[in-house]
Amino acid sequence: MRQHMCLLAATAALPFLVQPGWANMVYVSNEKGNSVTVVDSKTMEVVKTIDVGQRPRGITISPDGKTVYVCASDDDTVEMIDTASGEVVGSLPSGPDPELFVLSPDGKRLYIANEDDNLVTVIDLESKSVLAEIPVGVEPEGMGVSPDGKTIVNTSETTNMAHFIDASTHEITDNVLVDSRPRFAEFKPDGSEVWVSAEIGGTVSVIDNKTRAITKKITFEIQGLRAEQIQPVGVAITSDGKKAYVALGPANRVAVVNTETYEVEKYILVGQRVWQLGFTPDGKSVISTNGLSNDITFIDTQTDEPIKSVTVGQLPWGVTVAPN
Amino acid sequence: MSRRCLITLWAPLFLITRHSCDGGGDYGLNMTSTVPNTLTFLFGFFLLFVNASQPLAQEANNNAAAKPVKEIRIGYLRAYEPQLALSVLDIPPRDEGVAGADVAIKDNNTTGKFLGQQFLLETRETKFDEDVVPAFKEMVAKGSRLILTDISAKQLLSVADLAKESGVLLFNVGATDDALREEECRSNIFHTAPTRSMLADGLAQYLVWKQWRKWVLLYGSHERDKLYAEAIRRAAARFGATIVEEREYEDRGTARRTDSGVVLVQQQMPVFTQNLPEHEVVIVADESEVFGSYVPYRTWTPRPVAGTSGLVASSWHPASEQWGGVQIQNRFAKTTGRRMLSKDMQAWTAVRIIGEAATRSQSAEPKDMETYIKSDQFSIAAFKGQKLSFRNWNWQLRQPILVGDGHSVVSTSPQAGFLHQTSELDTLGVDRPESKCQLN
């Protein structure tokens, strides 16, 4: 805490500027630290720590880069951080225990998974009001949205399903059974597939967005590690759709998957309990949050080698990077 | 989901709309419609658009509503009598176990609404030494063919073969007796309760990992205390600890709580633990709650206490928050108004196993569920950091064992370094090569 205070004091004296084009701010939610750490993507150094509500987990940024949204799970709210001032400026009604959310591509709506109440809450960001509450399976967590904004996918961890929701009617259209404890849903940039990770099942299911059927199940194998230690959580797919990165939790590694062959091409050792992933806007780096080692790792997407690990707050959970 | 079957929603339209449904062959009607198919189809849609009210249309949109709801009855047979404990905090709640099953039924129904499955729980109570056969037969007559049991080993064996004849699957959520998984094992009993040997091994691994290898064993005079003591002896031999001395505490019926406070047993403890050889830990085997809770802080020499009091091994802990545990703990506390205990978790897991089997096999038939649970595909997530599965030689659920005191979780076994060729969870309890179980 003292360290945080020093950082705050140091940064307060400096003008807090985001210069587009050469550096982007990386925002990391620290689940146990009740804070968001801001890291400069170019220098890969911490520039600021922002105190937020209790148990911050899901984190995302508006397309214009002006607002960061953070789920303060234990405060039953979503907080908004103004990126210019680096301060919490307001909150949104989120429903109880928001864990993870996704922003519609136009930045107008927020789709939130309410873990304790088996609901997905739809928030209109302009009016800051709840548009709909959609009952889903037990312990909703992963949230994905198709690039055209028409389809939302929610995963429920105890029901073990990916629920496909029509974004215009807010009705569930399909339920796809996946493996145990699905944590995350990520659309391919062309919208053709949804990748759903299953933490306890140890797999990633690839679901065809047209037929809503599983077309491929990706499994992971790491020499010297027991199968139970490999627990896929976060998934990130490159903007050209060619490579997918999968965070493998207590396996302490990020898997690199070829999206054409669905083969794992590499395992990158990062930090302990790798949770979520985020790209820099230029696509040159992917950043992993390593919960138990209290750091994030920058990975070079050309070489798929880790470049640097940066200590953030306690139990880093989610990550989002400001757009250019 | 573009397929929409309106039959179940709109009975008068049955004949005309049937053609717009696919897979409708199992409705048992011999279709002899004289209207051409396309016309039928259009007419059906016309009527739908004209007449369907908003909620009806919404219901038709939901693919679950299009499926007939299948009921899955789960029975819960339990022996219950108010029990005494040395500490008022240890008196079992009235709904211990049943509450866990209730929460899992809700979880299953949330999932079931997407698949047209509805789960119901029917609980029957008997006394500790009562004949459970009549209650069991009644439950079966009422349609329960999946039954959770929280009864003694003897009671369970009295209905095991009867269950098999009636095609009933049993889920033992209460009895920790190793014998039920060994010489008395059955192919139609799944055990979500851990065995005494699994609990003792979980505790022993932790103590050995701590390098506390010299133990004194204090055990009670009732049968279950002696069975727990036996599991401790086995664990010591297995993991390289030494029991330097054993003492039996005889129950003379004067213990437990009284209005004046139980000073007698407490006062006996220092003397009872006097003149022991050098030791590092005192292990207590007192499932009957006669003296065990009075051992900590009252030993002659200052030593940590473990076993059935002090540091206790269990399948769950009310303070476990790791691996998504916060979610089930919150859900349980919200529903029941109390914290979740081991037996609640054992019952929750059993009902979730049934739910998972119903989901994956897309069936409400116990036979289909049994096939799925016994297949290699089966696994269940139960907030213990890894998937749980059944040992296929005796249908015991393999699971991590939590080691904790009254306040918090101290550690989770298997401990690092206890290796196994197939699953490290099989370092806990009787392993396949040693098993006496012969399933038929």
Query: What's residue B251's pLDDT?
Result: 84
pLDDT of residue B264: 76
Closest-approach residue (CA) in chain B for A159: B111
Domain A31-321, CATH among 3.60.10.10, 2.130.10.10, 3.40.1110.10, 3.30.390.10: 2.130.10.10
The ipTM value here is: 0.82
Interchain contact, B379 vs A228, CB within 8 Å:
no
**Interval B177-210: pLDDT, tens:** 999 999 999 999 999 999 999 999 999 999 999 9
Q: Which residues of B touch A139 (CB under 8 A)?
A: 324, 327
Q: Is B55 on the interface with A (CB under 8 A)?
A: no
Domain identity same for B188 and B327: yes
- Can you give the pLDDT at residue A21? 45
Contacts of B400 in chain A (CB under 8 A): none
Of A137, A171, A180, Cβ closest to residue B61: A171
Per-residue pLDDT, B260: 52
Give the Cα separation of A146 and B430 in Å (integer). 50
Chain B's closest residue to A140, CA to CA, is: B327
Q: Is residue B80 part of a domain?
A: yes
Instruction: Give chain A's contact residues with B (Cβ, < 8 Å).
Output: 97, 115-116, 118, 135, 137-139, 156-161, 163, 169, 171-175, 177, 180-181, 200-202, 212, 226, 228, 250
Give the pLDDT of residue B422.
Answer: 87
* Residue B3 placed within a domain: no
- Report the residue of A73, A114, A120, A159 to disrupt the B interface, i.e. the one with the largest count of B CBs within 10 Å: A159
Task: List, in order, residues 6 or more apart from B6 with CB less than 8 Å away.
Answer: B13, B17, B20, B21, B44, B48, B60
- Single out the residue of A261, A178, A257 nearest to residue A214, CA to CA: A178
Cβ of A160 within 8 Å of Cβ of B386? The answer is no
Interface test with A, best of B56, B61, B111, B419 (most A CBs within 10 A): B111
Same domain for B188 and B322, yes or no, is yes
% of chain B residues with pLDDT over 70:
82
Is A158 close to B352, i.e. CB distance below 8 A?
yes
Residue, of B7 and B163, whose pLDDT is higher: B163
Residue of A nearest to B4 (CA): A173
Using one digit for the tens of pLDDT, what is the confidence trace for A58-87? 999 999 999 999 999 889 999 999 999 999
Chain A residue numbers with beta carbons less than 8 Å from the beta carbon of B423 are 228
Determine if the pTM surpasses 0.80.
yes
In a domain, B438, yes or no: no
In this prediction, residues A311-317 reach a mean pLDDT of: 97
Letter for the amino acid at B51? N
pLDDT band at A116 (very low <50, low <70, confident <90, very high): confident
Distance in Å, alpha carbon of A221 to nearest chain B alpha carbon: 15
pLDDT band at B340 (very low <50, low <70, confident <90, very high): very high
Q: Report how far residue A38's alpha carbon sits from residue A44's, in angstroms, rounded to the nearest whole number.
A: 10
Tell me: do B299 and B321 sit in the same domain.
no
What is the Cα–Cα distance from B43 to B49, expressed in whole angstroms?
10
Within this chain, do residues B175 and B238 fall inside the same structural domain, yes or no?
Answer: no
CB B333 within 8 A of CB B339: yes
| The total number of structural domains that make up chain B | 3
Q: Is the same domain home to B351 and B292? A: no
Is residue B36 predicted with pLDDT exceeding 50? Answer: no
Burial B255-269 (b: 16+ CB within 10 A, else e): beeeeeebeebbeeb
Whether the pLDDT of residue A173 is over 60: the answer is yes
Residue B19's pLDDT band, with cuts at 50, 70 and 90, is very low
The pLDDT of residue B263 = 59
Lowest mean pLDDT among A134-138, A277-281, B51-55, B92-96: B51-55
What was the pLDDT predicted at B258? 54
Place of tokens 């004209």: B50
Pick from B61, B381, B424: CB nearest A180? B381
Residues present in chain A in total: 324
Place B124 in a pLDDT band, splitting at 50, 70 and 90.
very high
How does DSSP assign B349-400, residue by residue? HHHHHHHHHHHHHT---HHHHHHHHTSTT--B--SSSS-BEEETTTTEEE--
Q: Do B370 and B261 lie in a common domain?
A: no
Torsion, CA B209, CA B210, CA B211, CA B215, rounded to 10:
-100
Decide if A138 and B111 are in contact by the 8 Å CB cutoff.
yes
**Residue B10, Cβ neighbours under 10 Å: how many?**
17
pLDDT at B236: 98
The reply to whether B243 touches chain A by the CB within 8 Å rule is: no
* From A137, A181, A212, residue closest to B111, measured CB to CB: A137
Q: Does the pLDDT at position A202 exceed 50?
A: yes
Most confident by average pLDDT, B51-65, B87-101, B254-268: B87-101
B362 has a chain A CB within 8 A of its CB: no
> Where in the sequence is the domain holding B19, given as residue range(s)?
11-61
pLDDT at B353 over 90: yes
Q: Does B360 contact chain A (CB < 8 Å)?
A: yes
Please indicate whether, in this complex, the C-beta atoms of B379 and A200 are within 8 angstroms of each other: yes
CA–CA min distance B311, chain A (Å):
26
Is residue A40 over pLDDT 90?
yes
**pLDDT band at residue A175 using 50, 70 and 90 as cut-offs:** very high
A210, closest residue in chain B (CA to CA): B1
Nearest to A159 among B64, B110, B324 (CB): B110
Contact yes or no for B114 and A174 at CB 8 A: no
Tell me if B187 is assigned to some domain: yes
State whether B380 and A181 contact (CB < 8 Å): no
Contact with chain A for residue B114, Cβ under 8 A: yes
Question: What is the distance between the alpha carbons of residues A247 and A183, in angstroms, rounded to a whole number?
Answer: 11
In a domain, B413, yes or no: no
Report whether pLDDT(B12) > 90. no
Nearest neighbour of B114 by CB, restricted to A175, A226, A228? A175
Shortest Cα–Cα distance, B278 to chain A (Å): 39
Alpha-carbon distance of B207 to B159, in angstroms, equals 38
pLDDT reading at B78 higher than 60:
yes
pLDDT at B98 over 80: yes
Distance (Å, whole) CA A202 – CA A230: 6
**Which residues 206-235 of B have a C-beta within 8 angstroms of A?**
none
**Is the pLDDT at B44 greater than 70, yes or no?**
no
A181 contacts in chain B (CB < 8 Å)? 324, 381
Task: Give the list of residues 6+ apart from residue A261 with CB closer than 8 angstroms, or none.
Answer: none
Q: How confident is the model at residue A4 (pLDDT cuts 50, 70, 90)?
A: low
Question: Which of chain B's residues have a Cβ under 8 Å away from the Cβ of A201?
Answer: 379, 387
A&B contacts, CB < 8 Å: 75
CB contact under 8 A, B381 and A157: yes
Please, what is the average pLDDT of chain A? 92
Report, as an integer, the average pLDDT of B130-157. 97
On whether the CB atoms of residues B133 and B113 are closer than 8 A, the answer is no
For the segment A114-130, the average pLDDT, to the nearest whole number, is 93
CATH classification at residue B262: 3.40.50.2300
| pLDDT band of B56, cuts 50, 70, 90 | very low
Chain B CA closest to residue A156: B111
Give the separation between CA A94 and CA A70, rounded to whole angstroms. Answer: 11
Q: Which residues of A touch B111 (CB under 8 A)?
A: 137-138, 156, 158-161
Best probe of the B interface among A31, A138, A161, by most B CBs < 10 A, is: A138
Nearest CA in chain A to B384: A200
Same domain, B187 and B206: no
* Nearest chain A CA: its distance from B277 CA (Å): 41
Is there a domain that residue B437 lies in? no
d(C-alpha A84, C-alpha A71), whole Å:
20
Contact B114 A173 (CB under 8 A): no
Same domain, B278 and B379: no
CA dihedral B280, B285, B291, B293 (to 10 degrees): 70
- Suggest the residue from B387, B389, B419, B423 to mutate for an interface test with chain A (most A CBs closer than 10 A): B387
Name the closest residue on chain A to residue B356, using Cα atoms. A159
Does B420 fall in a domain?
no
- B64 contact residues in A (CB cutoff 8 A): 175
Through-space distance between the first and last CA atoms of chain A, rounded to whole angstroms: 31
Note the pLDDT tens digit of each residue in B230-280. Answer: 999 999 999 999 999 999 999 877 655 555 545 578 888 999 999 999 999
pLDDT at B68: 82
